[in-house]
Amino acid sequence: MQYEAPESVEAAVRLLSGGGPRGRVLAGGTDLLVQLRAGVITPQLVVDIKRIRESREIREEDGMLVVGAAVTGAELGEHARAKSMWPGVVESAELIGSTQIQGRASLGGNLCNASPAADTVPALVAAAAECRVAGPNGMRRVPVEDVCTGPGQLSLGDGEFIVAFELAAPPPGSADAYLRFIPRTEMDIAVVGAGVNLSLDESGRCTAARVALGAVAPTVILAEEAGAALVGTECDDSAMEAMVAAVRAACRPIDDKRGTAEYRTKVAGVLATRAARIAATRAREAR
């Protein structure tokens, strides 16, 4: 196996699009290295992007928060501005594994592992985050919800990799939240995850909402009708009931050892309601 650690985006693209076997990108390694040791994957090339400056920074650009794909959950959790702007996204990153894992696990790796149960993905989708994707044809932007096409499957082309995530500055009266349910108290995979991002006007009426669900379909779902159910309301009980109905209608879960499809569908509505109430409380406090 060939291991490379380029120091620029251009060098990484050249390695990944060199015409040979398709390489694998190493951002944090908490999934990739486990799969390597277990023999699940046997790549001939591994490209470590942690030496690329753009992949390791958290910075603001014109009010927008830009988070490198190789930034760890621990680093994100210690970043005061990130926690202030997008607390739900930070919450999701801090739920990945143990303290030791959070010192390595990255947003880019969590997304590109393409697990339907990934914790950061519903939060990023709810936040309308976009990926900066570098490739042989230059840089392009892709909504997070369009990256994964199925379990373990990505829409990225040959030679492409995610450099960073863009999170727009939330407007006044906006906030997000993320919650998950797991069988154990710590370090488990989500049975269901729910991210909610909403905006309230001065009268407390919802003007925009995004609801994203994890582990209830082959990919994370942006439940557009669930978000629409909150718009124009004060996020009261009747609005929450309408949102729950839309959430459950959007679910397409499977039965497995962590939960039945029926159970997941029910829990999705409960978590979405709780996350929406937390987001609404934060939005009122932010105004």
In a domain, 229, yes or no: yes
> What is the total count of domains within the chain?
2
Residues 144, 196 within the same domain: no
Give per-residue pLDDT as tens, 69-79.
Answer: 999 999 999 99
In a domain, 221, yes or no: yes
Average pLDDT score over residue span 240-269: 96
Average pLDDT score over residue span 227-252: 98
- Give the pLDDT band (50/70/90) at residue 20: low
- Give the pLDDT band (50/70/90) at residue 184: confident
- Indicate the burial class of 174 (C-beta count within 10 angstroms; 0-12, 13-18, 19 or more): buried
Residues 272, 240 within the same domain: yes
Residues 160, 192 within the same domain: no
CATH number for the domain that contains residue 59: 3.30.465.10
Residue 10 has pLDDT above 70, yes or no: yes
Residues 139, 200 within the same domain: no
> Hey, what amino acid is at 49?
I
d(CA 134, CA 246): 36
Residues 193, 275 within the same domain: yes
Q: What is the pTM of this model?
A: 0.95
pLDDT given for residue 188 in this prediction: 81
In a domain, 175, yes or no: no
Give per-residue pLDDT as tens, 256-287.
Answer: 988 999 999 999 999 999 999 999 999 999 87
Give per-residue pLDDT as tens, 128-163.
Answer: 999 999 999 999 999 999 999 999 999 999 999 999
**Domain edge (last residue) among 167, 200, 227:** 167
CATH number for the domain that contains residue 196: 3.30.390.50
**Domain edge (last residue) among 142, 167, 192:** 167
Domain that holds residue 89: 55-167
In a domain, 21, yes or no: no
d(CA 162, CA 157): 11
